[in-house]
Amino acid sequence: NRQIVLAERPVGAPTSQNFRLEDAAIPTPGEGEMLLRTVYLSLDPYMRGRMSDAKSYADPVEIGAPMVGGTVSVVVKSNLKGFAEGDWVVSLGGWQDYSISNGEMVFNLGKEPAMPSWALGIMGMPGFTAYAGLLEIGEPKPGETIAVAAATGPVGATVGQIGKIKGCRVVGIAGGAEKCKHAVENLGFDVCLDRNSPTFAQDLKDACPDGIDVYFENVGGAVFDAVLPLLNPHARIPLCGLISQYNATSLPDGPDRIGMLMGTLLVKKIRMQGFIIFDSFPNLYPKFAADMQQWIAQGKVKYREQMVDGLENAPEAFMGLLEGKNFGKVVVKVGD
């Protein structure tokens, strides 16, 4: 049972020294448990938070323990009602070949799911995050302008495409020309801007002649600085993620802009609301799944995956994800 464990906590950006590949015995499932074999492992930005022991909404990974992560796995042996050998399941198997589960937080995909890895992306946690955050907090109305960064990742790409379905103008922000081209040509964004351009703030202003009504916050940092002056009265900000600061070891350079932020929220009567997907929207998943299945079938939502071959390559792919080296949803093919 190959496992990638947390060797030490990162200071700043994770390095390969923070991870270690180990080999453990394949565990035996007890009463009320099942043994799962990992086929696909999802890599997600939140994992950076679990590597740190700073207080957060979830416990950190212990040093020496396998990294946590969502997986699509096959049931090898089950002592659990509702799960049989050969079933495909979505679970929290972690960065390892085999895991034990008691069935909690496990979703059965049946014997022959069509696109099993999609359960980690467009049909799973990131897709649901985009849907719930945009529709429940963003409340987009036809004709409004939505801005979203990390625009080709699983959350941002889905936010933009749902925004188009809802009749909005969608302005994407991504790292580099190739990603921006994809957002416009394949995902149907109205425009997409390169966040690395020296003229980015002005480009964003030019791309939003009517201001911004919904800013779906995935990244924070310099992108938010450029967005803030463009927000319209009554704008909504679903606060989903702040990836630009996940590796930070100190506060950003001054001057302190909190007063300006709060002043803008106040005078423009802006609503900014954080959310953690399964905590904040415990009952919405079935509605999301039904809508999303339909949109995909109708060709209204497209989905791009970056498949990484082999568990041993997970650390490098994860470090790349935090830097924007990924292009689409990062999934590791762990086994067959």
- Considering only 60, 188, 211, 221, the residue that binds ligand NDP (CB under 6 A) is 221
- Considering only 223, 292, 296, 317, the residue that binds ligand NDP (CB under 6 A) is 223
Name which of 75 and 308 has its Cβ closer to ligand NDP: 308
- Residues 5 to 64: which contact ligand NDP by CB under 6 A? 44-46
Q: What is the DSSP letter of 324?
A: T
Tell me: does residue 321 bind ligand NDP (CB under 6 A).
yes
Tell me: does residue 236 bind ligand NDP (CB under 6 A).
no
Q: Give alpha helix (H) positions in the chain.
A: 46-50, 125-132, 154-165, 177-185, 200-207, 221-227, 258-267, 277-280, 285-297, 314-323
- Considering only 179, 227, 236, 311, the residue that binds ligand NDP (CB under 6 A) is 179
Name which of 74 and 214 has its Cβ closer to ligand NDP: 214
| Assigned token pair, 67 | 């990294």
- Residues 119 to 138: which contact ligand NDP by CB under 6 A? 125-126, 129
| Smallest separation, CB 221 to ligand NDP (Å) | 5
Distance CA 214, CA 159 (A): 11
| Smallest separation, CB 233 to ligand NDP (Å) | 26
The string of DSSP letters for 41-58 reads EE--THHHHHTS-S--SS
Distance CA 166, CA 259 (A): 34
Output helix, strand, coil percentages for the chain, rounded to the nearest 5: 30, 25, 40
Tell me: does residue 224 bind ligand NDP (CB under 6 A).
no
- Considering only 219, 230, 292, 319, the residue that binds ligand NDP (CB under 6 A) is 219
| Smallest separation, CB 216 to ligand NDP (Å) | 9
Tell me: does residue 240 bind ligand NDP (CB under 6 A).
yes
Could you tell me which residues come within 8 angstroms of residue 114 by beta carbon, excluding any fewer than 6 positions away? none
Distance CA 142, CA 189 (A): 15
| Residues of the shown chain interacting with ligand NDP in the complex, contacts defined by CB under 6 A | 44-46, 125-126, 129, 149-150, 152-156, 174-175, 179, 195, 218-219, 221, 223, 240-241, 243-244, 275-277, 321, 324, 326
